Structure 1
Amino acid sequence: MADDPFQSRFAADASLLPHMADLANDRVLVALLAEADYRAASFLDQRLLTDRVGREWMAWDALPDLGAAAAGPHFIFHIGHVGSTLVSRLLAEVGDVLPLREPMLLRTLAQVAERIERPESVWSPELYRTRLAQTLGWLGRGFAPGQRAMVKASSVITAVADDLTGSDGRALFLHVPLPRYLETILAGEASMAETLAQAPARMARLAALLPDFPHALWQLPPVTRVAMSWLCEMATAQRRLPPDDPRRLWVDFEAMLADPAAALMAQATHFGLPIDPARIEAALAGPIMRQYSKAPEHGYTPDLRRELQAQAAADHAPAIAEAIAWVEALAARYTNLADLPILGDQSVIQEVRCSS
């Protein structure tokens, strides 16, 4: 690597982002980003590739392996639509953190992992492990000494969360109680469409987690499919990010909204970030809490979120009740699901709602 100027630069320069992979041709698209681009981007996916972003396809093996000494990134995992982008933006403000929100390369790794033991797998298990470690080294680079990269993964990436975090990585897992999740998804046409589109893959994953699974997707009405999606991601996290592991911090986003300063301080402590109450206060008082985090040009506040949830709860009450009963029946059937926070801490939820 020392004899190759590009490899030496790539090893130390976070501006060279391995953006996406082409498995058929065994190559990686490298994009050139400034630190401000990382901080602004809600998604490091195909929307990133505007005309002003330089990029070039390179053979995978032309990119260096940074070795076992490379620090991997911290991770934010979540069940989807539970404030993960907001938390990523806040932590980037309160600590020396480089945010990477939903890098596409991790989706490729998750797709490979899903098939790794099957005949159609394009990689061997050994190559998967090698390239997983290589990717984590790439995503762990910062722009300055001491800066720690923090990946906000896509919700489906939780299926390989234990592979990504390794033996010493720290992770945050964001969730909400089932009723709030249903209300949040039902309050947005786009979020409902997205969740229903992902339902077949999540149904398959849930059935793989639960032996003798008694349901088929076609049997479930739309709102119950949303509840199934919640259950899939929560059961996946229970297995991949056990809540009793001190390296994994489970955070109820509804409870976080009741006391965001305390929650941010706890999250910063968990990740080993410097604690500065003044920076936390400034971040919470700034524009982040008044914007829609995935599209900051649009206004969005916790109060508006609660109003939309309440309207969805009123509009869809019978279907929501049916969906919750479906999940509760499965929790009664499978003992490993009994500890999932299906209804959450209702005293906290009531406090959040009354504060609006």
Structure 2
Amino acid sequence: MTKLDDLLADPGWFPEAMDTGRDTLRFARVSRDGLAKTPFLDQRMAPVISDRRDVRLSEALAAWDADKARKVRMPAFLFHSAFCCSTLLAKALDAPGACLALKEPDILMHLANALRVDEALKRDPARAKRLSAFIFGLLGRQFAKGERVLVKPTNSGNNLITPVREAGAPALLLYGDLRSFLISVIKKGEPCKGFMRLQYNIFSLDPGGLGAIPHRQAMGFTDLQVAALVWRHQMEAFAGALERDRDLASLDFTALLDRPEAVLTAVSRHLKLRHGSARIAAAATGPVFRENSKDAGEAYDPERRERDAAALEATHKDTLDLIEPWAAKLTLSRPASLPLPHPLDIAAR
């Protein structure tokens, strides 16, 4: 039987899931290569898992705190507003020995929702902060000395920005404009429209304007109106975080497609990663920018992305032209406009 200390010390035991109500924490046995190559570390990571262990969350947290000699560097974080090349950016930065990119670990969704709905955590901010730092620390364990972990949460976990910064981790906020967001929703079809309604329900639990919209009124919104409200909620949350924390930086995703090498260099510098210029150049000119970031077997480059978007925009122009001005008048809880403040400095150095 694997000892608790071994589970906590070995990054090959990945924190897969937790339940604060049931006091459970699940570890999954996964190699570094399995973590790096899996587009989403949720139920879709099952093929790379070789074993699992369940422990009491409270016991694991106590053991973690008790080991004063434990040396764990907090991971860096890439927050995003969805449909803005976050998976592409994370994959481009993954480089053995320099950076391990973890893409949308399910446990962060569990943590984000626990902070939203667990009444015990909401009543005890110190406990919530301690739990958050523990989960971030587990994700930050290194497979190789000097290798920094980069974590890209799902955008439903954007309420973790403050806990991440309180834990001392560097972070970047990646975003796109509303029209690009809506075109992606249209492109992905009915499943994505349903996903937008799910995100609306999740974000309505956060402080801000979505929760104040009466349910009867919300039921009358069209699919793209719901999507626009989800986007607006995220832009306001990002704007608020950037206003409170000047060490945060924002990045419009189009810059990544236009100037990949300069952007990768700037992101690596801001997130305190360990890429050299040769690694950055190799990533910027390598296959990652010429394939589907979620399906490496499919050719997909910025030019094709632009053509696909232009075709959808032409087909749905009338609808988009109705939604955009409607959304432009929205203010849920605070003003927010693009470009977001504190843009990442991508000037050559």
Relative to the length of structure 1, the TM-score reads 0.84
Q: Counterpart of 2:85 in structure 1: which amino acid?
A: G
Q: Which residue is equivalent to 1:320?
A: 320
Q: C-alpha offsets along residues 185-240 of structure 1, whole Å, 9 cap, x if unaligned?
A: 212224344224423333x257834796589322322222211111111112222x
Rate the CA distance shift 1:139–1:45 in 2: closer, same or farther, 3 A.
same
The answer to whether residue 58 in structure 2 is matched with residue 61 in structure 1 is yes
Quote the offset at 1:9 in angstroms.
2.8
Counterpart Cα distance in 2 of 1:138 and 1:180: 35
Asked if 2 retains the 8 angstrom alpha-carbon contact of 1:78 and 1:175, the reply is yes
Provide structure 1 residue ranges, at least 5 long, that are not aligned to the other structure. Answer: 346-356
Q: Counterpart of 1:152 in structure 2: which amino acid?
A: K
Q: Which residue is equivalent to 2:347?
A: none
Q: Which residue is equivalent to 1:353?
A: none
Counterpart Cα distance in 2 of 1:167 and 1:16: 22
Rate the CA distance shift 1:207–1:274 in 2: closer, same or farther, 3 A.
closer
The answer to whether residue 6 in structure 2 is matched with residue 9 in structure 1 is yes
Report the secondary structure of 2:130's partner residue: helix
Q: Which residue is equivalent to 1:277?
A: 277
Report the secondary structure of 1:242's partner residue: helix
Which of 98, 103, 106 aligns to 2:105? It is 103
Rate the CA distance shift 1:338–1:74 in 2: closer, same or farther, 3 A.
closer
Rate the CA distance shift 1:145–1:106 in 2: closer, same or farther, 3 A.
same
For 1:79-94, list aligned pairs within 5 A: 79-93=81-95
Q: Counterpart of 2:231 in structure 1: which amino acid?
A: W
Rate the CA distance shift 1:40–1:205 in 2: closer, same or farther, 3 A.
same
Q: Counterpart of 2:99 in structure 1: which amino acid?
A: V
Q: Which residue is equivalent to 2:226?
A: 225
Q: Counterpart of 1:232 in structure 2: which amino acid?
A: H
Q: C-alpha offsets along residues 71-123 of structure 1, whole Å, 9 cap, x if unaligned?
A: 2211010011111111111111397111211111111111111124x48x798
Asked if 2 retains the 8 angstrom alpha-carbon contact of 1:112 and 1:123, the reply is no
Q: Which residue is equivalent to 2:200?
A: 199
The answer to whether residue 22 in structure 2 is matched with residue 25 in structure 1 is yes
Report the secondary structure of 1:144's partner residue: coil
Quote the offset at 1:315 in angstroms.
1.5
Asked if 2 retains the 8 angstrom alpha-carbon contact of 1:243 and 1:249, the reply is no
For 1:167-206, list aligned pairs within 5 A: 168-189=168-189, 190-202=191-203, 204-205=204-205
Quote the offset at 1:41 in angstroms.
1.1
For 1:129-168, list aligned pairs within 5 A: 129-166=129-166, 168=168
The answer to whether residue 282 in structure 2 is matched with residue 301 in structure 1 is no
The answer to whether residue 311 in structure 2 is matched with residue 290 in structure 1 is no
Asked if 1 retains the 8 angstrom alpha-carbon contact of 2:116 and 2:122, the reply is no
Rate the CA distance shift 1:278–1:70 in 2: closer, same or farther, 3 A.
closer
Q: Which residue is equivalent to 1:268?
A: 268
Q: Counterpart of 2:290 in structure 1: which amino acid?
A: R
Counterpart Cα distance in 1 of 2:244 and 2:48: 46
Q: Which residue is equivalent to 2:311?
A: 311
Asked if 1 retains the 8 angstrom alpha-carbon contact of 2:133 and 2:167, the reply is no
**Matched residue pairs, number?**
334
Relative to the length of structure 2, the TM-score reads 0.85
Counterpart Cα distance in 1 of 2:38 and 2:29: 13
Quote the offset at 1:135 in angstroms.
1.2
For 1:72-83, list aligned pairs within 5 A: 72-83=74-85
Report the secondary structure of 2:3's partner residue: helix
Report the secondary structure of 1:58's partner residue: strand
